[in-house]
């Protein structure tokens, strides 16, 4: 498999032949309504004709050139215009890489090395941040989460509970003495259950970072262009120093970016090393430009919100007919299906396997991604699939 996480798909990983809109077809010809959406990037659905057209026009002109081109600037301007407070941009290839770029910039800007993140937050697979995600041993010391991880890579990583403003205030009060240079924060915990910040949390973190000379980084790899057009920055009205964007930015093509305050981004001209063979390549940036144009169209996010809201209502109703305790959370076009702890073994993983038999693709993690191509009819089909899958799984458990 290209990714170990894909091997988790139930009842087994599928092999896909083609995809369009909200649908995918496997190599046996079976059709599915897809709520995996490439694990997040496909905010405009599969094979959107305008994205495919833009990429198709670029393909015969140039692919990898190792030089500058107009889209480096034009696509950057479109992205920066969407994110409140963003002044400049650096291109990268993936969320994992872009997080590392942001951290390097933060260390240079602050003159300090230690990073604070939040328990359960995922910021990519790199050794320096892949810690206290799936499990945490307690306290503020980070816990490694993978075999083969360099234990020294997290020596300068501290972790705190999300939404605990007192803990943030206590730790950042000693920021200078403890060499804390950055707070790395997913504002909606998009990869760990989808939890909104409590009122005042982001504002207070912003205030504390300013007070103690700490760079605030929002990891919006998933939240960007999904919880609102301008991501969590727009939705909650708090501007970080840097934001990391990815996934939906290119509508299904590989590209990521770091946006933020010009004095920090400009450090790449003053000694901060930034590189990447595929950064800002013409093919990916053609997709970025087309995606930004699509998302800029009137009522795009109203439509996304309407379908996502309707889907949540339908799923809540479907789960309510079962004795199983499920919660469905939503922020923008992101949903999370959370099976609550009970006195019976969890069944969500089995449900995702059974949903395949009813033409629905869903992630074992419970994340649900809605695109502009999903409809209320798709939502009805998902809810009916949940009802049918629950009957099958519950019957097998007897």
Q: What is the CATH number of the domain that holds 16?
A: 3.90.1150.10
* Whether 247 is catalytic: yes
Share of the chain above pLDDT 70, in %: 97
Q: What's the average model confidence in pLDDT over 354-369?
A: 95
- Choosing from 219, 241, 350, 378, the catalytic residue is 219
Residue that the structure tokens 């030089």 belong to: 67
263-292 pLDDT, tens digit each: 999 999 999 999 999 999 999 999 999 999
Question: Mean pLDDT over residues 58-65, rounded?
Answer: 95
**For the chain, what is the domain count?**
2
Look at residue 13 in the predicted model and tell me its pLDDT.
82
Residues 304 and 345 both lie in one domain: yes
Residue 193 and residue 341 in one domain: no
| Residue 342: predicted pLDDT | 74
Strands 334-339 and 367-369: antiparallel
**CB of 385 closer than 8 Å to CB of 355:** yes
pLDDT at 100: 98
Q: Which pLDDT score, from 0 to 100, does residue 10 have?
A: 62
Identify the active-site residue in 117, 247, 350, 367.
Answer: 247
First to last CA, the chain: 34
| pLDDT, position 346 | 85
Q: Enter the tokens of residue 52.
A: 């495919």
| Boundary (domain end) residue, out of 262, 279, 295 | 295
Number of H helices, E strands in the chain: 11, 14
200-235 pLDDT, tens per residue? 999 999 999 999 999 999 999 999 999 999 999 999
Whether 43 maps to a domain, the answer reads: no
Q: Which of 269, 295, 321 is the last residue of a domain?
A: 295
Could you tell me the pTM of the whole model?
0.95
Order across the sheet with 256-260: list the strands: 88-92, 256-260, 242-245, 215-220, 180-185, 114-118, 157-160
Q: Is the pLDDT of residue 257 over 60?
A: yes
Return the C-alpha torsion angle 249, 251, 256, 259, nearest 10: -10
Domain holding 129, by residue range, is 50-295
What is the tens place of the pLDDT at every residue in 8-46?
A: 666 778 899 999 999 999 999 999 999 999 999 999 999
- For range 36-65, the mean pLDDT: 97
Q: Residue 258: enclosing H or E segment and its boundaries?
A: strand 256-260
The answer to whether 91 touches 260, Cβ cutoff 8 Å, is no
**pLDDT tens, residue by residue, 88-108:** 999 999 999 999 999 999 999
| 365 and 314 assigned to the same domain | yes
Q: Domain of 160: which CATH number?
A: 3.40.640.10
Structure tokens that stand for 235 in this block: 């939705």
Which of 228, 261, 295 is the endpoint of a domain? 295
Q: Which of 32, 34, 35, 122 is catalytic?
A: 122
Do residues 259 and 240 touch, judged by C-beta distance below 8 A? no
Strand partners, 141: 158
Bond into 16 cis (ω within 30): no
* Structural domain contains residue 44: no
Buried b (16+ CB within 10 A) or exposed e, 20-41: ebbbbebeeeeebbbbbbbbbb
Assess whether pLDDT exceeds 90 at residue 7: no
How far apart are alpha carbons 272 and 264 in whole angstroms? Answer: 10
- The SS3 of residue 20 is strand
Q: What is the pLDDT of residue 67?
A: 92
Q: How confident is the model at residue 134 (pLDDT cuts 50, 70, 90)?
A: confident
Average the pLDDT over 135-158 and give the result. 93
- Which helix (H) or strand (E) covers residue 168, if one does? helix 165-172
Indicate the average pLDDT of the chain: 95
Same domain, 101 and 180: yes
């Amino acid at each position: 498999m290209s990714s170990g996480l894909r091997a988790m798909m139930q009842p087994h990983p599928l092999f896909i032949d083609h995809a369009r809109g909200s649908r995918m077809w496997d190599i046996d010809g079976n059709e599915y309504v897809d709520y995996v959406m490439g694990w997040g990037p496909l905010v405009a659905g599969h094979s959107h004709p305008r994205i495919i057209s833009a990429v198709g026009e670029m393909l015969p002109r140039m692919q990898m050139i190792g030089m500058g081109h107009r889209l480096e600037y034009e696509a950057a301007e479109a992205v920066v215009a969407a994110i409140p407070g963003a002044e400049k941009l650096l291109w990268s290839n993936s969320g994992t890489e872009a997080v590392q770029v942001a951290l390097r910039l933060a260390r240079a800007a602050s003159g300090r090395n230690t990073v604070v993140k939040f328990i359960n937050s995922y910021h990519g697979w790199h050794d320096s941040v892949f810690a206290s995600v799936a499990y945490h041993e307690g306290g503020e010391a980070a816990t490694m989460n993978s075999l083969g991880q360099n234990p020294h890579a997290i020596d300068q990583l501290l972790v705190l509970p999300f939404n605990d403003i007192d803990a943030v205030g206590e730790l950042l009060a000693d920021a200078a003495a403890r060499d804390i240079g950055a707070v790395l924060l997913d504002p909606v915990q998009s990869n760990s259950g989808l939890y909104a910040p409590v009122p005042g949390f982001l504002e207070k973190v912003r205030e504390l970072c300013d007070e103690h000379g700490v760079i605030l980084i929002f990891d919006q790899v998933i939240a960007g262009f999904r919880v609102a057009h301008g991501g969590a920055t727009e939705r909650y009205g708090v501007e970080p120093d840097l934001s990391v964007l990815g996934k939906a930015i290119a509508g299904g093509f590989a590209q990521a970016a770091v946006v933020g305050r010009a004095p920090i981004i400009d450090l790449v001209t003053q000694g901060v090393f930034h590189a990447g063979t595929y950064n800002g390549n013409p093919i990916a940036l053609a997709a970025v430009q087309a995606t930004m144009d699509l998302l800029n169209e009137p009522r795009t996010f109203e439509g996304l919100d309407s379908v996502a809201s309707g889907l949540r209502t339908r799923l809540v109703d479907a789960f309510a007919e079962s004795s199983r305790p499920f919660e469905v959370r939503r922020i923008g076009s992101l949903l999370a299906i959370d099976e609550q702890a009970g006195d019976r073994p969890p069944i969500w993983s089995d449900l995702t396997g059974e949903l395949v038999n009813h033409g629905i693709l869903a992630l074992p993690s419970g994340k649900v991604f809605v695109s502009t191509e999903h409809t209320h009819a798709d939502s009805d089909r998902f809810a009916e699939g949940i009802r049918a899958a629950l009957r099958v799984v519950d019957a097998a458990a007897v």
